[in-house]
């Protein structure tokens, strides 16, 4: 009997994946939702469900799914990026920027989060802060150095301006 249950789960996930790969977003979302009804702690499938409902045109449902995934994967920068995408689609650019910043806090080299920062001219990337004992703080702007890692070029000298 346990093999039958395992086969049902596998078939359900395989069906959901097949529908997702075929870009049948509503049917894939329904298939993932059916599986999640019995497996609430499958955080990766919550992300997949979020992708499908987002692609089906419902960023609010996607946000709800991504938030469920975030509850189980609080340190996953990709989940924060997906939350940012859903918030951007839902018309909340400030919330999206906060989600991208949270992704960068977790992984300062997250390319998707950096792409979003670069695409929004209203904000500069968050500067890393080094806290020293007492009230002294030192702030480093590493954006030029990080840009050198993405595009082969020499870092600039001390910026002036």
Q: What length does the chain have? A: 161
Q: What is the pLDDT of residues 29-40, one digit of tens each?
A: 999 999 999 999
Q: What is the pLDDT of residues 39-88, one digit of tens each?
A: 999 999 999 999 999 999 999 999 999 999 999 999 999 999 999 999 99
Q: Is residue 131 part of a domain?
A: no
Q: Is residue 133 part of a domain?
A: no
What letters, b where the CB count within 10 A reaches 16 and e where it falls short, cover 43-77? eebbbbbbbbbbbbebbebbbebbebbbeebeebb
Q: Which domain holds residue 8?
A: 2-121
The pLDDT of residue 119 is: 81
Q: Is residue 146 part of a domain?
A: no
Total domains in the fold of the chain: 1
| Residue 71, domain CATH | 1.25.40.10
**pTM for this entry:** 0.70
Query: How far apart are the C-alpha atoms of 133 and 140, rounded to whole Å?
Result: 17
Q: Is residue 150 part of a domain?
A: no
Cβ neighbours of residue 144 closer than 8 Å, sequence gap 6 or more: 155, 156, 159
Q: Is residue 67 part of a domain?
A: yes
Q: Is residue 19 part of a domain?
A: yes
Q: Is residue 101 part of a domain?
A: yes
**Between 27 and 141, residue with greater pLDDT:** 27
């Amino acid at each position: 009997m346990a093999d039958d249950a395992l086969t049902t789960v596998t078939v359900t996930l395989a069906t959901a994946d097949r529908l997702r790969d075929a870009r049948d977003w509503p049917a894939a979302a329904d298939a993932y939702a059916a599986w999640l009804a019995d497996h609430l702690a499958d955080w990766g499938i919550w992300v997949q469900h979020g992708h499908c409902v987002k692609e089906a045109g419902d960023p609010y449902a996607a946000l709800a799914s991504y938030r469920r995934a975030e509850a189980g994967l609080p340190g996953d920068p990709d989940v924060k990026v997906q939350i940012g995408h859903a918030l951007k689609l839902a018309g909340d650019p400030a919330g999206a920027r906060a989600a991208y910043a949270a992704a960068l806090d977790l992984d300062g080299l997250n390319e998707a989060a950096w792409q979003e920062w670069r695409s929004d001219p209203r904000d500069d990337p968050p500067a890393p802060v080094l806290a020293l004992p007492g009230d002294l703080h030192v702030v480093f702007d590493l954006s030029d150095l990080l840009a050198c890692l993405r595009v082969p070029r020499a870092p600039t000298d001390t910026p002036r301006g």
